[in-house]
Amino acid sequence: MKFSLSWLKYFLETDASVEEISARLNAIGIEVEGIENPAEKLAGFRVAKVLTAEKHPQADKLQVLTVDTGEGAAPLTVVCGAPNARAGLVGVLGLPGATVPANGMVLKVAAVRGVESNGMMCSTRELELGDDHDGIIELPADAPIGTPFADYHGADPVFDVSITPNRPDCMGVYGIARDLAAAGLGTLKPVEAPRAEGSFPCPVEVRTDDPAGCPAFYGRVIKGVTNGPSPEWMQARLKAAGQRPISALVDITNYVMLAFGRPAHAYDLAQLNGAVVARKAQDGETVVALNEKTYTLDSTMTVIADDSGVHDIAGIMGGEHSGCSESTTDVLLETAYFDPAHIASTGRKLNLTSDARQRFERGVDPQFLDAGLDLLTDLILRLCGGEASHVIRAGTPPSGAKAVAYDPALAATLGGVPIADERQKAILESLGFSVAADWTVTTPGWRCDVAGAPDIVEEVVRIHGLDNIASAPLPRTDGVARPTATPSQKLERRLRRAAAARGLNEAVTWSFLPQDEANHFADGNGGLWTLANPISEDMKSMRPSLLPGLLSASRRNVDRGADSLRLFEIGRRYLRGEHGHSDERLSLAVLLAGDRTPRGWASGKAAPFDAFDAKAEALALLAEAGAPIDNLQVMGEAGAQFHPGQSATLRLGPKNVLARFGMIHPATAKAFDIDVPVAMVELFLDAIPGKKGAATFARAHYAPPALQAVTRDFAFLVGIDVAAGDLVRMVKGADKANIVAARLFDDFRGAGVPEGHKSLAIEVTLQPGEKSYTDEDLKGIAEKVTSAAAKLGAVLRG
């Protein structure tokens, strides 16, 4: 929310500086996100007078001006194309070095069609002071020549504050001024509009047929108005708040909303037909709103309608058809109280936000209906003229006030700071609360957020000063603190360190995905979790896998020139469990894209990543996670996102999949617009079985063996379809007492190898115990190895 300093001081009598006001706002819980100083934007622009204006010798539509800058120096030559440029005109000159606010252009001395120009005479649009661009600014003839334009125009700082959802009273400048006055930064000025009783009965019937959605609906007609531009002071305040001035009638309703947090609406009476009613919409009814979009309504939504149809999405946005225009002469003013829950529900369904919705769904003061109508009436009669009717009231607004039993001692016991009873009473009364002798505190209508004694403590303490609360250390038990990390957290930390040590860079991607990307990785997991009210369409579905987030990250990096990517991410994937319950699973994903090694004089061409690189990462990280990698089986069916001939899964048994890895499928690469080789890994950490006794038995200390290990090589002929990993696993398990490791070091297919076969060479590491091996020992172990390999049809190669 934005407001200018002058607007704040219209309601608050104070001499405080911008810095003091900003500091006090932050101290009482109204966060200042920024302060804009228009003087900074207008630096380099000054009031100047055109002395002469002659036709440009090389252009029909340009003039060559001599301009007096008021500095006592020689006049400057300026080329100008404005039709109203003439001798004697007093305007605004941008000097070389100044930055034009509208487009960021830095002015400099330059030749325009052969004539040197030393700056620019500016229009209101160029200085972001209005929309007029038909000519340059014309100031009064007595404007002081040479004065910086920021000083002449008035530099009014603008505050940009963040209002938390529990403070609807501060959704207007007056509410912020009230808080600052309570905090001792000035005196709040009372604002009371004269009560206009009206001179004739209201000619329009106003009623509410939806008391749940619209408990109260007030209105009155003002005839004979003249709708034109609003006055400069009102336009300046609206512009400071980020609003575009439209016309006096529209600007007045916006002004009251921004000043007092009270949305209202003005209808062109000529566009209405019959009674104006707050009612439920009918399923399928449509309305064209002021944003020129058509909305289809349903029977849960409250609307304002007449005999012709819907004119207003109640409490959110008015209709285009019945809005005020320059030709409006008679208006119906509407102030109403709409139920916050109904407003929030309608806004979510229509995906429609507005300033009015923000205020109504947080909760406006239900007792401000008459006062708001008086303010609107007074402004319209003063600025647009006309004659007001009697007020017509339909329904009854809720009181809004609550009586809360309060104990002043809670400030110390709950708030942490003792505050004198008299001081607490003064703070509450300055905020609009009433305090009885027995400390029953009655809340004002604009504080719907206060529901009990703790809320009152918060009000008292924040105005008294949060910095007055003394810091108190939490009690700590003597000795070494017990570890608080869960096993899952410890696993994440260990894997994160291991992945980083392997040269992978951690990525953190959104848990939400575009629906098409999520569908690409759904894999029939019971359907996706799709948000009914997403932040955007690109964040609509919960991710069923971490891989699509890494693929999108790789695309962004490749598009920016990265030629080698090594990314990993640890996080949750979200699946639909039984009975539609959410099922969160801990996973680790790795993505390798582009070149594994760059081109060079020794290696020649760059070498891309392949499926074996992905497998190496999967095995290394599974080992770090405590998975029994020696017992893993390599099987297919990695998923439709992987290349079927260059991917696999790692499993414990036929069903328990611990990981999948491989190259991405061409269709996946196309779906994510990736044109470099990409290998992926996904580890399902929730599928890794826990170690038996891990919680009760400590790890044995490391004791190196006394005797040196022995290696023996075996070359087997096996069928072409036999997986090397299966043979290695079979060999290693042939004699667990002696064989400590086995690895494949050669895969040969060529001369001397029968067709349909391959030669696999395996290095077996043997570790003797208390004594060295004899020849008979080694022979017996070799027989066990060949017997185990024979179960897969392998024979020793001659």
- Which residues line the annotated binding site for Mg(2+)? 449, 455, 458-459
- Within 8 A by CB and 6+ apart from 613, the residues are 592, 596, 679
Q: Is the CB of residue 628 less than 8 Å from the CB of residue 652? A: yes
- Whose tokens are 């017509």? That residue is 392
Q: Is the CB of residue 617 less than 8 Å from the CB of residue 661? A: yes
Give strand pairing partners of 574: 584
Cα(432)–Cα(441) distance, rounded to whole angstroms? 10
Helices (H), 638-697: 666-671
- Whose tokens are 């932040």? That residue is 535
Q: Is the CB of residue 380 less than 8 Å from the CB of residue 331? A: yes
Helices (H), 444-560: 453-464, 487-501, 515-520, 547-559
Cα(158)–Cα(529) distance, rounded to whole angstroms? 43
Cα(798)–Cα(451) distance, rounded to whole angstroms? 89
- Whose tokens are 């002058």? That residue is 6
Question: 3-state DSSP: the chain helix, strand, coil percent, rounded to 5?
Answer: 30, 30, 45
The encoded tokens of residue 676 equal 């470099």
Q: Is the CB of residue 154 less than 8 Å from the CB of residue 143? A: no
**Rounded to the nearest 5°, which phi and psi values hold at 330?**
-130, 135
DSSP code per residue over 128-196: TS-S--SS---B-TTS-TT-BHHHHH----EEEEE--TT-GGGSSHHHHHHHHHHTTSSEEPP--PPP-
β strands within 355-428, DSSP E: 387-388, 392-395, 403-405
Q: Is the CB of residue 189 less than 8 Å from the CB of residue 13? A: yes
Query: Annotated binding residues, as ranges?
Result: 449, 455, 458-459
Q: Is the CB of residue 369 less than 8 Å from the CB of residue 335? A: yes
- Whose tokens are 């208006």? That residue is 331
Q: Is the CB of residue 202 less than 8 Å from the CB of residue 220? A: yes
The encoded tokens of residue 141 equal 């003839």
Strands 317-318 and 309-313: antiparallel
Whole-angstrom CA distances from 104 to 41, 93, 646, 791 are 10, 16, 54, 79
